[in-house]
Amino acid sequence: MKILVSGGTGLLGQGFLRVLREKGEHEVRCLVRRTSPVERLEGLELAYGDAGDAGSMVRALRGTNAFVHVAGVQYTPEVLEAMRRAGLERLVIVSSTSAHSRFEFRSAPRLVNEALLPGSGLRWTVVRPSMIYGSELDHNMHKLLRFLDRSPVFPLFGSGENLWQPVYYEDLARGLYAALTKPGTDGQIYDLPGPRPLTYLDLVRTAADTLDKKARIVRIPAEPVRRALLVAERIGLPMPVSSEQVLRLREDKAYPYEKARRELGYTPRAFKEGIALEAGRLREIGLVR
């Protein structure tokens, strides 16, 4: 089978391309933009285009058998149009566990696009990652590790009791591969989170332990911060975090994944293991002590 992959220069995409290379069972072509860092895709066939432009994807899809669209569920309408025009049937699309959020501003953009798939006439599968971490492209846990390494105090918004379930990018990439290749995945949606929920406080402490640091937690009440951010947003001041992000801190991000375990053989590693790998990676390049 020949597979078109979008998002190949990104965090999950790089992990997925590595799995494809290791398995060696399929040919690969990558959809890239003119501005993409294509040096990350050495040796791979490239097709220039944009996920927001169906015409460019039609050209990229010609001669392939499946499309693994990692670059964003928001492009589903263009992807479906391109699939139809290229006469392709098999689509695996990466969405997000944010689809479960009780906040509509998080869930609706995912759900609205996922809802286009059942009527598409395609053989589709959706995977929904939780927060992804790992590799030099990680913007989540690498930031946390570097902060913990440098700062004697850690400011914590809210109680820290809310749950998180980050997934190591390589485990997620293997889950995505299984969603593409295992029989019986057509028309299915799989949540692919980390192995178990952790409170944010546990997450920070586990990361600090990995660095042999003791995190001195300074609690900051979330609500006054959110209100201040709302005011700043109303008058157009640029802020490092949004009021919506602070609001979402109250929400537990815990996701059962029994279906993925059963049907995909999905077994993500413990956060403690994944974060230790990343601390090691940062230590090697001198970014943490």
Buried/exposed 25-56: b ≥16 CB within 10 Å, e otherwise = ebebbbbbbeebebebbeebeebebbbeebeb
Candidate list 66, 132, 279, 282; residue touching ligand NAP; CB under 6 A: 132
* Contacts of ligand NAP in 234-253 (CB under 6 A): none
Q: Does residue 135 touch ligand NAP according to CB under 6 A?
A: no
Distances 144 to 20, 194, 208, 211, 279 between C-alpha atoms, Å: 30, 17, 9, 11, 10
- Smallest separation, CB 136 to ligand NAP (Å): 11
Q: Does residue 33 touch ligand NAP according to CB under 6 A?
A: yes
Q: Does residue 96 touch ligand NAP according to CB under 6 A?
A: yes
Are 221 and 158 a contacting pair, CB within 8 Å?
Answer: yes
**Which residue, 168, 220, 225, 231, is CA-closest to 195?**
168
The contact pattern for ligand NAP, residues 172-211, with x = CB under 6 A and - = no contact, is ----------------------------------------
3-state helix, strand, coil in the chain (%, to 5): 45, 20, 35
Per the rule left: phi > 0, alpha: psi between -120 and 50, beta: everything else, 194 is: beta
Say how far apart CA 59 and CA 126 lie, in whole Å.
23
- Smallest separation, CB 231 to ligand NAP (Å): 28
Q: Which residue is nearest to ligand NAP (CB)?
A: 10
Count residues binding ligand NAP (CB under 6 A): 27
Candidate list 3, 5, 6, 90; residue touching ligand NAP; CB under 6 A: 6
* Contacts of ligand NAP in 47-86 (CB under 6 A): 50-52, 70-73
Residues that bind ligand NAP (CB under 6 A): 6-13, 31, 33, 35-37, 50-52, 70-73, 94, 96, 129, 131-132, 137, 140
